[in-house]
Structure 1
Amino acid sequence: MVCVLLAAAAGAVAVFLILRIWVVLHSRDVTPRESLSILVVAGSGGHTTEILRLLGSLSNAYSPRHYVIADTDEMSANKINSFELDRADRDPGNMYTKYYIHRIPRSREVQQSWPSTVFTTLHSMRLSLPLIHQLKPDLVLCNGPGTCVPICLSALLLGILGIKKVIIVYVESICRVETLSLSGKILFHLSDYFIVQWPALKEKYPKSVYLGRIV
C-alpha cells in the first residue's frame, strides 16, 4: 500500500513538473517597461564578436547589460569593455550605460573528453543558478558558446520554480549553415525564440525563426 501511494505521489509530481515546464516554455507575456535587463552570454573565438554585433543593433532600453563569460576568457572581457566604452563615447548623454561582467567556469575546455564534460557542466550549473537567481534578468541572449547551456537551464529553472519568467533568445552562429551546434541542439526546444541565419537550417527546423543574416 505504501509503495502504491509513493508511486502515485511520484507520478503526480512528475505530471506537475511536465505541465509546469510546458507552461514556462509556452508563456511569452512580457510586461511593457521603460528598460529590460538583459544577460548576454559571450564565448571565446567568434562568438563574442557576433553577439556584440547583434547587441550593437539593439536600443539602449536593454539595460542594465550583464555579460557572462568563462572564467579564463580574457579576450572576451577585453572585447566587451571596448564595445561598451565605444558605445558610451558615441552616446555620452545615454542614461542606460550600466554593464557588468560575470564569470563562471567553462562547461567544456578545448579537447576535453566528452564524458568528463558532464561533470564540468554540472559544476558550471552549480555556480550559474545563484547568479541567475541574483540577477533575475528579463532576457537571456546567446549564440552558442558552451557556457550558455548552464545559464539557459538556470534561467528556465527560475520560471519552473515560479520565481520569474526569463525570455531565452538563442541566435545560432552564422558559421552554422546546415547543422546546429551542440548548444543549439540542446537549447532548440528550451528557448523562447530560436533564430537561424541560413535557409537550410530553417528547412530542417521549421519551428526556428529565419531572419536572414543578422550579424
Structure 2
Amino acid sequence: MKVCLVGSSGGHLTHLYMLKPFWKNKKRFWVTFNKEDARSKLKNEKMYSCYYPTNRNLMALIKNTFLAIKVLKKEKPDLIISSGAAVAVPFFYIGKLMGAKLVYIEVFDRYNEPTLTGKFVYPITDKFIVQWEEEKKVYPKAINLGSIF
C-alpha cells in the first residue's frame, strides 16, 4: 500500500504525523508547505511542496490542482489521508478520479461546525473521521474515533 499524506504545515501536519504508528511501515509521501516546521519534521521523508496561502486563494487552488495531477499521476497512491486544510481539496478530487481511497480527519478544535475543507471533501471521502461525538451532528456519516492527541 502506498499512502499520500497531504496537509498544511503546522497543526494539520502535526495531526498527520501523529498517525505514525499507521504509516511508518508503509510506502508514503507527503504534500505540504515548504516551511521550516515541515522541512524539519519531514527531513527524512519524501515530500512535495505545495503552493500557499491556500485558504480562499483561487490562484493557489489552481496551482495545487495541477500539482495534484502531476504528483498523483507519478506516485499512484492507494490511499490519501488529510486533516486539512485547503490543499487537501484538489488532492482528494483528483485522487478520487484516479481510484485512490480517501480518509479525511476533521481537526480537533472543531466540534460544532464544519471546516470549509471538511465541507468540500465530505461528499467524496471513503472514511470521514471526527474526534468529537458532537461533530456527528454536522457530519452524520462520520466515524468518531476520539482524539488523536
- Give the alignment's TM-score, normalised by structure 2: 0.90
Unaligned segments of structure 2, at least 5 residues: none
CA distance in 2, matches of 1:59, 1:182: 26
Residue identity (%): 27
Q: Secondary structure, in 3 states, of the residue corresponding to 1:58?
A: helix
The residue aligned with 2:137 is 203
The residue aligned with 2:32 is 69
CA distance in 2, matches of 1:48, 1:155: 19
* Structure 1 pair 59–42 and aligned structure 2 pair: CA distance change class (3 A): closer
Q: Is the 8 Å Cα contact of residues 30 and 46 (structure 2) preserved in structure 1?
A: yes
The residue aligned with 2:6 is 41
- Give the alignment's TM-score, normalised by structure 1: 0.64
| C-alpha displacement of 1:44 | 2.1
| C-alpha displacement of 1:107 | 5.6
Q: Which structure has the bigger radius of gyration?
A: 1
Q: Is the 8 Å Cα contact of residues 47 and 145 (structure 1) preserved in structure 2?
A: yes
Aligned residue-pair number: 149
Q: Which has the higher helix share?
A: 1
What stretches of structure 1 move > 2 A for 4+ residues in a row? none
Q: Is the 8 Å Cα contact of residues 106 and 146 (structure 1) preserved in structure 2?
A: no
CA RMSD of aligned residues (A): 1.8
The residue aligned with 2:71 is 131
Q: Is the 8 Å Cα contact of residues 84 and 117 (structure 2) preserved in structure 1?
A: yes
Unaligned segments of structure 1, at least 5 residues: 1-35, 85-98, 159-164
Q: Secondary structure, in 3 states, of the residue corresponding to 1:134?
A: helix
